[in-house]
Amino acid sequence: MSSDTSETAPRVAHFREIVLWPVQLIPRHEGVQIQRHWEYLNEPGAEAVWKEVVDGFTADPAQFGERHYKEFVTFLPYVQRFLYGEGPSAGVSAEAAQSRVRVFRRYDVAQACILFPGNPQPRRFEVARVELCFFHDIDVAILVIEISARDIPLATALDTLYRFGRAYPTHWEASGRGGHCAERVEWLSADGRVLAASDYENRSRYLSFVATHRVPCVAAHWEYLLQPLVLHQSGEGGSIRYREIEHQRMPLMSYLALDDTRHLTRGDLVRLGLVTRPGDSQTLPYSEHFLRNFEYRYCYDRHWEHQHHQESSNTRFMCNGQAFTVLGHAGDAFFVDAENGMLGQFRHQYFLLCLIAHLHKAALLMLSDRLVVALNRLDIRSPDSIRGFKRSIRQTSEIFLRFTHRYWFHAVSDQPQARDLFKMWTVHLDTDDLYGEVRQEIQDMAHYIDSDQLRRQADTVVRLTVVTTFGLIGSVATGFLGMNLIAAADNPLSTKIVYFLLVFIPTVVLTLYTIVKSKRLAEFLEALSDERLTRNDKLNILLNVWKRRRRGSRGDAG
């Protein structure tokens, strides 16, 4: 029996879903580390669809609400500076005092109309916000969209969580519908006009794009929402270009205020916690053995007693990294309070926890991708390519260093609940291990560049030593014989110039020839000082100086 048809199945009195979609931004200017992509959205000629959001810290303290205060004090001081910037103070520039997060919002999308498989009528959701978050010195943007609905079946809530945040289909079913996706998604304006619609069913478009560009394309309604950002591999023109940084399923947060949480079965809770498709409430979506540690791994039950008679005390948090879910009772005034209650915390404090956790992962994946791109562009036969590779690695190392000191937090709050939930996020996203891998990759690259530089310097020293050694012989000889063998002091200037050129030109030629043969001459000098070698061995090594070696032999390496 499904959740929809069961007589005891709870209904969701208030449902909210926040989807966060991190994308990697392509640098607009070569050689510039801080790209400031958001400045394009503020340019006079740019599309006016995005408007920068002014934070809650206004010039008039009377307008600063308690909700803003509670959000601010949730975080530790260094996180506060990252999220909110610093107030006016002596010695701090206006730019340095700003928040490291630049938020833009669009107001044209008022509703999302979603048609689910098996349902003849679409379901409308209110769109609470559509935001685009940029981060100073990090080429990552995060699209945020929040939708809400009231009094919907639990199965509809599950369907929305499972199908809404899909960038593209993973496959197509026999009916032609995109796998795991909704039948249709439409963005509506306030007057009900359709602004954009999904095209999950357009199988040929997705197949041809992958065949041509080696990357999947993005569904039409998500493309519309990101404009003027355009997919880097597409043929469309755009000043801000992006590439997908993770898989097609977008991270999400969900809030469900239910009329009766006691009627939730373990199957319902597992489906909500792991965001699986709807199913029979009396069954589990996976095997019992696989789910034996579900409550321990994914649930935070500081305030949860499933069969407790006082429903107002029950709140369960579930987190698997990609999804964060808050469950509670709709009759609890604190749980549904949008300003100072759990709903307000979900939309603000917990949203910021989620934003930081996914920023960490997206930034690390972006830096790792930059290393791969730098390696792919490297042509060891081209000196310009080698110099560009070294410059790119050094810039990435500097960006990683600044990311570490500006954005990388292990603890974001001293409040127990916020601290524990952020730890759950980071553990499931595995950002600590990812950070270690990227750090090691960058250190390996930097070590290679430093080693190569030291090797080149050592080769130069060897060559200079050989030239100096052989030049010393000539210097001593000419110095000892420099007793005016040619008395040219009284000769005309033209004669002196001829004598000078007769000495200068052979000296230059001999010096350059010595440099060319310096590597082999260095081997001869090393052999000459080796008492274990016989005279014949040393003579053979000397003769090898003028022998032509095969291309690619070890003696010519480096």
Instruction: Report d(CA 124, CA 164) in Å as an integer.
Output: 12
pTM of the model: 0.82
Tokens of 70: 């509670």
Phi, psi of 284 (to 5 degrees): -105, 145
3 state SS of 112: strand
Looking at the DSSP assignment, which residues form a beta bridge with residue 21? Answer: 143
Asked if 410 contacts 44 with a C-beta cutoff of 8 angstroms, the reply is no
Tokens of 107: 């107001």
Instruction: Report d(CA 185, CA 113) in Å as an integer.
Output: 6
**What is the model's pLDDT at position 555?**
43
**What is the model's pLDDT at position 2?**
43
Residue 471's identity, in one-letter code, is G
Running DSSP on this structure, what letter comes out for residue 446?
H
| In the chain, domain spans | 448-556
Tokens of 57: 């810290």
CA distances from residue 387 to 368, 382, 384, 449, 460 in whole angstroms, order as listed: 20, 9, 5, 10, 18
Region at 192 (left for phi over 0; alpha for psi -120 to 50; beta for the rest): left
**What is the model's pLDDT at position 319?**
95
Q: How far is CA 325 from the centre of its chain?
A: 24
Helix axis angle for 266-274 and 154-163, nearest 10°, is 30
Residue 155 contacts by C-beta under 8 Å, 6 or more apart in sequence?
Answer: 2, 3, 4, 9, 278
Cis, bond preceding 228 (omega within 30 deg of 0): yes
**What is the model's pLDDT at position 545?**
65
Q: How many Cβ atoms are within 10 Å of 343's Cβ, its own excluded?
A: 21
Asked if 138 contacts 367 with a C-beta cutoff of 8 angstroms, the reply is no
CA distances from residue 142 to 18, 133, 354, 363 in whole angstroms, order as listed: 12, 5, 11, 11
Looking at the DSSP assignment, which residues form a beta bridge with residue 138? Answer: 135
Return the residue matching tokens 């930081």: 356
Instruction: Report d(CA 189, CA 5) in Å as an integer.
Output: 33
Instruction: Report d(CA 301, CA 325) in Å as an integer.
Output: 12
Instruction: Report d(CA 192, CA 144) in Å as an integer.
Output: 22
Specify the DSSP element, H or E, that contains 73.
Answer: helix 66-73
Specify the DSSP element, H or E, that contains 307.
Answer: none
Q: How many Cβ atoms are within 10 Å of 275's Cβ, its own excluded?
A: 19
**What is the model's pLDDT at position 554?**
43
Phi, psi of 24 (to 5 degrees): -90, 130
Q: How many Cβ atoms are within 10 Å of 402's Cβ, its own excluded?
A: 15
Instruction: Report d(CA 102, CA 94) in Å as an integer.
Output: 14
Q: How many CA atoms lie within 13 A of 531 on its CB side?
A: 0
What is the DSSP code string of 118-153?
T-SS-EEEEEEEEEEEEETTEEEEEEEEEEEEEEEE
Return the residue matching tokens 């006079």: 44
10-residue stretch averages of pLDDT, the chain, 558 residues long:
56 96 86 78 73 72 78 91 76 65 92 92 95 91 96 94 94 91 94 94 94 92 91 81 89 94 90 92 92 93 71 81 94 90 93 95 92 83 79 87 90 93 94 92 82 68 63 57 58 73 71 67 63 69 66 44
Asked if 140 contacts 25 with a C-beta cutoff of 8 angstroms, the reply is yes
Asked if 17 contacts 254 with a C-beta cutoff of 8 angstroms, the reply is yes
Asked if 75 contacts 68 with a C-beta cutoff of 8 angstroms, the reply is no
Residue 385's identity, in one-letter code, is S
Helix axis angle for 518-528 and 535-543, nearest 10°, is 180
Instruction: Report d(CA 51, CA 68) in Å as an integer.
Output: 21
Asked if 157 contacts 181 with a C-beta cutoff of 8 angstroms, the reply is no
